Structure 1
């Protein structure tokens, strides 16, 4: 984001504080207007000529840039590990963690560690958990039994 004196263009296409179009104005005139109104002159794109600029109150430009960065963040894949012999209270805790992650926009990878002949038990646990999480997310993959673990990915709705 380029602000105030760092804008090198000779003229800019200016938008006012309330969103009104002020037309094409010399950069020096736009800077003088910004100082007079006690706001920042912010260039929104360098790809056009003259570059579009806006008059934004001082703190709003920084806040807007932070929100833009937040929107750009990709959802992450979070992993939750369980065991087939999980107790009811621990199951509820893991379910709440998964719901929280799904509601914040992240995908959840539910993994059950298997020892011996616990495969069917692990598959049953994952089916129950994905059914309980159906309000917050839907299964992306089927339940995968491989080696020492069973896993399923749940994406947010």
Structure 2
């Protein structure tokens, strides 16, 4: 839980602004009177705004309040879409087959809904020919037109040139299976 509230005897103010169970203002009362009113209803006195003058306290069922608050936080976390930034590294002298393999890897990441940083790393004298690295990145983009689009154009950063490719908005992320089912061979026991 993100925030802890003081309740009942843990409240240290002499006077508090009291709010009833249904949200009605009951005015500024002494802490003793507020605690008495909360106990009469078999509920808790919770300090919801400790920095206010006087502090704001509310009469409520604290257990139910905490349960609903954690439930709301869980729902909020569930609603958040976490996009990971994956990285695929290439070299300017990459072979055609290796480039195709790396491109398929990028495509798989994009289909899963992740952004991909494609980086070409230069070594030694390769740094004198950045256009070769740009050509490699452009060939990757050409092969990924159906799956993704360039979010950040190729940019030189020290000894590497990189770009960021994002999945297309209309392209749905592939549902990941919970567990891959492996068919059993006859006579072989599963471990």
TM range (shorter): 0.5 to 0.7
Q: In structure 1, what is the Cα distance between the partners aligned to 2:37 and 2:23?
A: 15
1:65-118 deviations in Å (ceiling 9; x for gaps): 784xx89xxx99943112563354x4443124445xxxxxxxx6x321325744
Structure 1 position 54, deviation (Å): 1.4
In structure 2, the partner of 1:11 is 15
Gaps of 5+ in 1: 100-107
Other-structure match for 2:162: 150
Superposition CA RMSD, Å? 3.9
In 2 relative to 1, CA 21–123 (structure 1 residues): closer, same or farther, beyond 3 Å? Answer: farther
How many residue pairs get aligned? The number is 135
C-alpha contact 2:107 2:147 (8 A) present in aligned 1: no
| Structure 1 residue corresponding to 2:136, chosen from 98, 107, 121 | 121
Measure the CA separation in 1 of the matches of 2:106 and 2:7.
51
Q: Structure 1 residues 41 and 145, CA, compared in 2 at 3 Å: closer, same or farther? A: same
**Given that residues 12 and 51 in structure 1 are in contact (C-alpha distance below 8 angstroms), is that contact kept between their aligned partners in structure 2?**
yes
Which stretch of structure 1 is more off in the superposition, 125-134 or 13-22? 125-134
The equivalent residue for 1:104 is: none
CA distance in 2: counterparts of 1:122 and 1:149, whole angstroms = 9
Check conservation: 2:43, 2:60, Cα contact below 8 A.
yes
Shift in Å, 1:34:
2.1
Structure number with higher relative contact order (C-alpha < 8 Å, ≥ 6 residues apart): 1
| 2:88 counterpart (82, 85, 103) | 82
Deviations 1:26-64 (A, max 9, x none): 211212222333332221223222111112322244343
Partner Cα separation in structure 2 for residue 5 and residue 95 of structure 1: 55
Greater mean deviation of Cα atoms: 119-128 or 35-44 = 119-128
Query: In 2, Cα distance between the equivalents of 1:36 and 1:153?
Result: 62
SS in 2 for 1:9: coil
- Give the C-alpha shift of residue 22 in structure 1: 1.4
Corresponding residue for residue 102 of structure 1: none
**Is 2:56 the counterpart of 1:52?**
yes
